[in-house]
C-alpha cells in the first residue's frame, strides 16, 4: 500500500514497501524542494545549539523559583535531574533528526510514526510546537528588559517599577535581533561562534568574581538545605517539583537547532550531534554556575525579597559590595542571553515557515514565501516578531499572566517532545522493522533511552502548570494549563 501527502513546496511524504535485504519496510522518505541556503557548518551549528539555550544565563534570571520552593537543595539536585532528563530527550530526538532533518521536526516525525490519525496528530503537534516556541522567544526580552529595570532600582531605590516600561524595554531588546535576522543572515554563523565563545568564557569570569569577593557558605547550606515553608505548599515532593521550574526552563528548547536543519550542511550528521553537545555543555555550565552562586550568596531572605525582582542582582551586590561591579556581572550574563535571541528568532521562524509550507497555518501560502532577496522566510519572521510584541502587552495588565505564558512555552515544548517519543516507542513494540536507521543510532539502548525521556518529560509536564504559591488566587494562579487546553 502506498500513502502520499502533498505539500505546498511541491514535495511529498511517502511510505512505500520495499524489498530491501533486511525484509523491512523502506524508511519513510521526505522529499522537499530545497528553498533555503545551507551555510551553517558543524562548529556554527554546535555554537547555535549551545547559545540558543543560554542555560546558565537563564538560570540566574529564574533563580527565584528554586529559592522560593525547595531552596539550595532543590536547585542543586534539580539542575542535575534536569540535565539528565533533557539529555535523554535530546538523544532520543537526535535519532529522529538523523533520519529526517527537517525544519518541521516534531510534527513531521509524528506524522511518520503515527499508526492512524496522522493528519490530526501532526496538525495538533505543529500548533503546540509553533505556539510554544513563539512564547519561548519572549523569555530573553522579558528577562533582559526587566533585569535592566531591576538594576535601575538598585541604582535608584526610589525608582518605581512600572510594567509598561518593562514592555518598552522588551521591544528595545528584540529590535536588533530582528534586524540582524533580516539583513545579516550570512554573518549569523560567525555570530554563533563568537557567542559560543562568550557563553563559555564569561562563565569562569563570573564565577571567579564571586569566589574571590564573596564570603563562603558551608557545604551543608548548598547540599542539604531544603526550604519548604515559603510558598504554602506542605508536601516536600511537591515543593521540590514546583521549584524545578527555575532549572527546567533554561534547558527547554533542545530541539532549537533542528528547525535550522535545512540551512545546515550535512544536516543528518551535524544536527543530532549539535543537539546532544549543546544540551551537555549547557547542563554542565549551569551546574557550575548555580553551585558557585549558592556557595557565595549572602542573606537568603534579602535575596528572595529583592526589590529588584531578581535575587541574582541582590546576590551579586552582596558579593561585590559595588553597584558598578554588579552591573558588569549582570551585563556579562545578559549579553550571551541577548545573542541567544538571534538564534531563537531564526529557529522559530524556520519552524513557522515549515508549518505554513505544509498548510498548517491560516494564510499558509502567504507565510510560506521565501524572500528571493534576503533568502529567508521574511513573512514568517514578521509573524513571530508580531507575536513577541503582542505577548509583551500582557505584562502591562498582569505580570502573573505573562509568567503563565512563559510557563506555557516550557509546558508546550515538553508535550511536543512527548508525542513523537511515545509514537516511536509504540512503533518499536508493534513494527520495529519499519523504523529506519539514520546516521545516529542509540542501538540497543534506544528503547531504554526513549522510556527514560518519556518518564522525565511526563514528570516535567505534570508539575509545570502548578501555581508557585497557595492558597491560589486570581493573581498568583498559573494559567499555563488552562491556556494550553484552550
Cell match 543537539: residue?
A: 275
Position 2 scores a pLDDT of 36
CB 21 within 8 A of CB 254: no
Cα distance between residue 126 and residue 466, in whole Å:
25
pTM score: 0.86
Q: Around Cβ 105, how many Cβ atoms within 10 Å?
A: 29
Cell match 538564534: residue?
A: 343
Q: Which of these, 238, 373, 264, lies nearest to 42 by C-alpha position?
A: 264
In terms of C-beta density within 10 A (0-12 exposed, 13-18 middle, 19 or more buried), how is residue 459 classed? middle
Preceding amide of 471 cis, omega within 30: yes
Alpha helix (H) ranges present in 2-70? Answer: 42-53, 55-61, 63-68
Cα distance between residue 217 and residue 295, in whole Å:
5
Query: Cβ contacts of residue 449 below 8 Å, gap of 6+?
Result: 88, 91, 92, 442
In terms of C-beta density within 10 A (0-12 exposed, 13-18 middle, 19 or more buried), how is residue 399 classed? middle
First to last CA, the chain: 37
Q: Around Cβ 118, how many Cβ atoms within 10 Å?
A: 18
Cell match 522518505: residue?
A: 29
Q: In this structure, what is the dihedral angle of CA atoms 294, 300, 304, 309, given to the nearest 10 degrees?
A: -70
Q: Which CATH architecture has domain 40-485?
A: Up-down Bundle (1.20)
Q: Which of these, 244, 204, 221, 225, lies nearest to 297 by C-alpha position?
A: 221
Cell of 111: 506524522
Position 472 scores a pLDDT of 79
DSSP state of 471: S
Cell match 532528563: residue?
A: 85
Cell of 307: 526589590
Q: What does the pLDDT profile of the chain (486 residues) look like in tens digits?
A: 334 333 444 333 333 333 333 333 333 344 455 566 676 778 888 888 888 888 898 898 889 889 989 999 999 999 999 999 999 999 999 999 998 888 888 898 998 898 888 889 999 999 999 988 888 888 889 889 999 999 999 999 988 888 888 889 999 999 988 998 888 766 776 777 788 888 888 999 999 999 999 989 999 999 999 988 787 888 889 999 988 988 998 898 888 888 888 878 888 899 999 999 999 999 999 999 999 999 999 899 999 999 998 999 999 999 999 999 999 999 998 988 888 888 888 888 988 998 998 888 898 889 988 888 888 889 999 999 998 888 888 777 777 767 777 778 888 999 999 999 999 999 998 888 888 888 888 888 889 999 999 999 999 999 888 888 888 777 777 777 777 777
Cell of 195: 557567542
DSSP state of 266: T
CB 84 within 8 A of CB 242: no
Query: Cβ contacts of residue 211 below 8 Å, gap of 6+?
Result: 292, 295, 296
Q: Around Cβ 177, how many Cβ atoms within 10 Å?
A: 23
| Geometric angle at alpha carbon 307, from 211 and 468, rounded to 5° | 90
CB 290 within 8 A of CB 79: yes
DSSP annotation string for 394-432: HHHH-HHHHHHHHHHHHHHHHHHHHHHHHHHHHHHHH-G
Q: Around Cβ 278, how many Cβ atoms within 10 Å?
A: 27
| Domain edges within the chain | 40-485
CB 166 within 8 A of CB 141: no
SS3 of 229-258: CCCCCCCHHHHHHHHCHHHHHHHCCCCHHH
Q: Around Cβ 204, how many Cβ atoms within 10 Å?
A: 14
Query: Cβ contacts of residue 106 below 8 Å, gap of 6+?
Result: 125, 126, 129, 255, 416, 417, 419, 420
Position 32 scores a pLDDT of 52
Amino acid at each position: 500500500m502506498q500513502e502520499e501527502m502533498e505539500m505546498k513546496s511541491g514535495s511529498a511524504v511517502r511510505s512505500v514497501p520495499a524489498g530491501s535485504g533486511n525484509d523491512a519496510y523502506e524508511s519513510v522518505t521526505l522529499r522537499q524542494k530545497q528553498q533555503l541556503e545551507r551555510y551553517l557548518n558543524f562548529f556554527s551549528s554546535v555554537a547555535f545549539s549551545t547559545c540558543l539555550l543560554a542555560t546558565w544565563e537563564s538560570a540566574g534570571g529564574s533563580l527565584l523559583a528554586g529559592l522560593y520552593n525547595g531552596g539550595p537543595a532543590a536547585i542543586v539536585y534539580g539542575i542535575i535531574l534536569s540535565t539528565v532528563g533533557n539529555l535523554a530527550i535530546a538523544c532520543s530526538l537526535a535519532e529522529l533528526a538523523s533520519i529526517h532533518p527537517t525544519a518541521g521536526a516534531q510534527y513531521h516525525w509524528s506524522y511518520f510514526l503515527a499508526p492512524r490519525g496522522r493528519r490530526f496528530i501532526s496538525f495538533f503537534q505543529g500548533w503546540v510546537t509553533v505556539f510554544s516556541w513563539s512564547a519561548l522567544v519572549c523569555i530573553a526580552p522579558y528577562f533582559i528588559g526587566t533585569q535592566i529595570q531591576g538594576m535601575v532600582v538598585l541604582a535608584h531605590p526610589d525608582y518605581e517599577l512600572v510594567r509598561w516600561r518593562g514592555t518598552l524595554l522588551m521591544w528595545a531588546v528584540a529590535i536588533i535581533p530582528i534586524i540582524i535576522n533580516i539583513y545579516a543572515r550570512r554573518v549569523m554563523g560567525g555570530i554563533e561562534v563568537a557567542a559560543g565563545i562568550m557563553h563559555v568564557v564569561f562563565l569562569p569570569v563570573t564565577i571567579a568574581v564571586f569566589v574571590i569577593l564573596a564570603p563562603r557558605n558551608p557545604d551543608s547550606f548548598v547540599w542539604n538545605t531544603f526550604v519548604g515553608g515559603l510558598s504554602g505548599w506542605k508536601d516536600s515532593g511537591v515543593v521540590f517539583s514546583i521549584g524545578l521550574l527555575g532549572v527546567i526552563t533554561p534547558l527547554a528548547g533542545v530541539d532549537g537547532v533542528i528547525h535550522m536543519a535545512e540551512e545546515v550542511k550535512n544536516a543528518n550528521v551535524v544536527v543530532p550531534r549539535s543537539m546532544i553537545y549543546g544540551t551537555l555543555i549547557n547542563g554542565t555550565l549551569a551546574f557550575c554556575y548555580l553551585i558557585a552562586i549558592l556557595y557565595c550568596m549572602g542573606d537568603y531572605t534579602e535575596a528572595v525579597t529583592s526589590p529588584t525582582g531578581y535575587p541574582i542582582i541582590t546576590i551579586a551586590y552582596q558579593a561585590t559590595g559595588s553597584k558598578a561591579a554588579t552591573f558588569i556581572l549582570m551585563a556579562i550574563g545578559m549579553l550571551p542571553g541577548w545573542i541567544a535571541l538571534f538564534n531563537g528568532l531564526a529557529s522559530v521562524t524556520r519552524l513557522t515557515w515549515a508549518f505554513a509550507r505544509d498548510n498548517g497555518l491560516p494564510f499558509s501560502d502567504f507565510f510560506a514565501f521565501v524572500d528571493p532577496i534576503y533568502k529567508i522566510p521574511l513573512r514568517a519572521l514578521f509573524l513571530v516578531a508580531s507575536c513577541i510584541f503582542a505577548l509583551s502587552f500582557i505584562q502591562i495588565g498582569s505580570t502573573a499572566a505573562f509568567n503563565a505564558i512563559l510557563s506555557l512555552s516550557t509546558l508546550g515544548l515538553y508535550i511536543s517532545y512527548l508525542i513523537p517519543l511515545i509514537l516511536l516507542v509504540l512503533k518499536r513494540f508493534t513494527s520495529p522493522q519499519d523504523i529506519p536507521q539514520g546516521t545516529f543510532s542509540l542501538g540497543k539502548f534506544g528503547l531504554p533511552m526513549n522510556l527514560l525521556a518519556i518518564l522525565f518529560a511526563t514528570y516535567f509536564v505534570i508539575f509545570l502548570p502548578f501555581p508557585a504559591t497557595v492558597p491560589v488566587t486570581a493573581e498568583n494562579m498559573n494559567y499555563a494549563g488552562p491556556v494550553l487546553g484552550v
